[in-house]
Chains A and B, each alone.
Chain A
């Protein structure tokens, strides 16, 4: 297991380096002076000259990348053009808000979707299977931002059960904070349940066709034991991979949900930074989300042998 961890981590390092090159290049691709882009149009000439020197803009592009990499590895992403706050602090603050929502949503969606998919597979081609597959396809086809608006209308405006806009940090008032995140989490759960249930169904059907399942049934095991003790572990592995991908994609695309529910998360921050051309913030958001995406997939890789023994630890 230790060898696998080291091996996989070693594989993630080049990916992370490539990502850093891509994010560095992204900002350098924007026409104009990078120092002016980082400090904004209102910057004074002295600050501009100082930043140009610290970024090494008179040096070859590779040296500029190394200077930038060294700075970000020491946590120095510069200051936000709009709020003048240190970028890393600002981004981590907003990231924690989004992370809570995304983690809760994916966890709940997995708990609902995996048994749902397995049940559909077990009863393949029955009315129940058709019903579950149709519901899953409908759920994944409804855009999350529309579903969010519908839930907001029903539970916030019509029934008045939950607050419509705003956000309260969990540290301030836990129960009040919970009421503000229920709807965004529910929206994501509904959408991702559709995606995961289909995957869980497909992989369970594949596993149920294997000989070892026939063997387990021939031994006289009841269906519950066959399904949970024998089919579940193998069929869960592909779903686990998808969970990793969904986590990253949700973090990348959370801006729409945060816009619907006016939540100050990393998605909103990223969109605001694009509007305001706040490139230091945008760069940090891109790096952080992609870094987390790679780490989550690394974790999924490491968890894989627990569910699929054919992948040796």
Chain B
């Protein structure tokens, strides 16, 4: 049975709009591409056509063929196998980055928006200073401290994306905290922490879903860009970004080395952008065009 507080202050959480049954064209294409990407990443955890790290100097620079669908690289490694492993790495890094940013940003945003006063001013001062840096620049600065590695990227990108989450959560909290159902929760004696977690946090979910989807795309792109610059996951581990970087000297002679990793990054981003658009149209009607 529901407690009195839960019955009285049932928060008017932003529900999903259930009117439209047919998914949009964007959602369909975007969802399919994301599903394929997830499938590719999951496949990478259990199986790849060849060992992605195994050198085979007898079969260097083999163009795409039946034996190697996407060809082989300068060390004879199978490009398709490396792309599959790259999908797994990219997805894992992006997932961790988004989780980090959403968790840290939600906590800070909730505290700042709900506590107000000096706590809010101090937190927002630091947050605004971080927002004044272009995202990738802040990540580059942080990478200088934490060092280039898989978890270094997660930390650098996670910290760089956190301020955007803080802003979204704080503004949602500010618009909610004066509403009657929050007042009612306080009046019946619920603690500040309970009110914050039980009644305010769930209302931040909708804008956060939209933001997290876009952020996932940013993370994939930034991870690839940082790996391309040699500041990401170090070789011989395969990521789409470092495959693209190592393909540069062979652009004229082995075009497939640069073409396929880039194509996969582009397909992932197209999928996420289309799906993100569809999601925003559905969850945030004000943005719907």
Contact surface of A with B, Cβ cutoff 8 Å: 15, 18-19, 21-23, 26, 29-30, 124, 137-138, 140-143, 145-146, 149-150, 152-153, 157, 201-202, 205, 248-249, 251-253, 255-256, 259-260, 270-271, 273-275, 277, 279, 282, 286, 289-290, 293-294
Contacts and interface: CB of A to CB of B under 8 A. Distances in A.
A259 B246 CA distance: 12
B273 interface: yes
A298 to B, nearest CB: 11
B268 to A, nearest CB: 9
Interface stretch (B58-66, B102-110, B140-148): B140-148
B132 A149 contact: no
Nearest to B261: A146
B134 A149 contact: no
Chain B interface mostly helix, strand, loop or mixed? Answer: helix
A18 B124 CA distance: 11
26 contacts: A15-B128, A18-B125, A18-B129, A19-B132, A140-B273, A141-B270, A142-B262, A145-B244, A145-B262, A146-B258, A149-B248, A150-B259, A153-B251, A157-B251, A248-B134, A252-B136, A253-B225, A259-B228, A259-B229, A259-B245, A273-B144, A274-B140, A274-B231, A286-B133, A286-B141, A290-B134
A290 B133 contact: yes
B228 A145 contact: yes
B251 to A, nearest CB: 6
Contact of A293 (B133, B258, B289): B133
B132 A253 contact: no
Contact of B144 (A22, A30, A145): A30
Nearest to A255: B229
Contacts of B230: 271, 275
Nearest to A130: B25
B53 interface: no
B92 to A, nearest CB: 19
A309 to B, nearest CB: 23
A281 to B, nearest CB: 11
A149 B244 contact: yes
A150 B256 CA distance: 11
Contacts of A282: 141, 144
